[in-house]
Structure 1
């Protein structure tokens, strides 16, 4: 890696977006078949003019270590916090981490990362491990019969003079006096007695 190599890469993109297009026009190439026939000669001329032999012929790229799954790196990642019952919410649904068909216990408010990809669907990362996820099944709340009786609350009956009863009747906030008469009444010392 060198800054010069980075510059050559940037120039390459400029060349492919500028020079190649101009040469295609110069040679009156209009179809994909003609362009594919033209490219080998263009690449040969381009390399003869701009190619640079690297200082070290060995590739700087290393093979991926076996324990690293590239799919878990090249995916969409979103942070979530675990809630009670080892659950987390994502996309309006509640999920749990699963390993060997068993729920993985997660403390409340622990950070997890949700991984989504078309290759593997959805998984979650927690403490360096990646786990399957499954929708959380919450038991339905059972209300005992005696609680149901307590919950049936009778409506409160309000008196006839209560403000709720007079909601349709509004006080009159308009005045027959003009604005000048009202201002004069405010400043009139006898008007306050």
Structure 2
């Protein structure tokens, strides 16, 4: 189109039907360039306006073999990565160095769509496939021009973007993402992102979206960052609840998490609108497109391995996508022992006729200085399940440790011989290269880019 315009203007000037100055303005060229084009037209005719590379393969075009390799590598993934992530994998593992735009164009030409492809692009690719199948049938275009009034949004439904907070710790957005992260079962990844810096400050896998998962995330924030100012979450039962009959205190999860935040001076805000906490919602999409691929490459199949893998993965993610500000208002966190009790689950109970307390289908007896303490029946008790799993009881404003009662004796004094009292032996912890641990340790070494030989050489050095 541009070549045709240039040809007609220069032809008119050469035939004295147009002034040179007007042609300069029309084509956006200098007088010298116009004179050069006139001379070339008089010598070569219309063909001089065609591009020299037309019909030829570009010098810097991607080779056909490379395109085929890229398509085969992408189709070999069970969990399809997004194009940006796939470009990084090609560069690191296969030494194929192209931009994500080039890789995206190669995949689109093969009608392969990324899981993050937008709806507009999907329609465009489908229309291209349909046009090829029709071959010659004219498509009727809609002559109507859309009006601006038809595209207006109601004010109550609009959610305009807001700027990031200024300081780290000023606002933490939290959410849990349900996805098939690894293996066959669906797991829930609990995430917390700092609104100002864009850093992931807490991440933990669990079977469901639970108080335990958010407690682990809060523990990571306190131990690594400090005490933030506020949380923004959705209206899940962990943070808010709907009143129901026969609700026990330990089921009232808003009291559990809210009480912990209240003790730390953290404000908890909730919303039922996803756009209001768009930072963590967008993070869920980004993590869902990258983390499953990295877990598959690392050979992760269990939740314990996945939580261990998250530690390094989060550091790499923050280095690449976070650290948008360094100014912080995090306050100094409590000690580990204080955090252990702050992130506790509490429940009301009463002492039964056997002088013990039932909790989570187990029976506990209060102890003090390794001696049992017996309280009268129906005495009110507050159970405190610490973050590390230890059980304490609060009776009459005094806290006692507990001893879990056994369901059955290990031996009978009447019918069994008295077992020998063996000395406690120091627990043996096998080396990482022990045959029982070798396969899982090799998977870990592959995830950090080492071999077993390199690890053994470092240990002997």
Shorter-chain TM-score above 0.5: no
Structure number, greater radius of gyration: 1
State the TM-score, normalizing by the size of structure 1: 0.40
State the TM-score, normalizing by the size of structure 2: 0.20
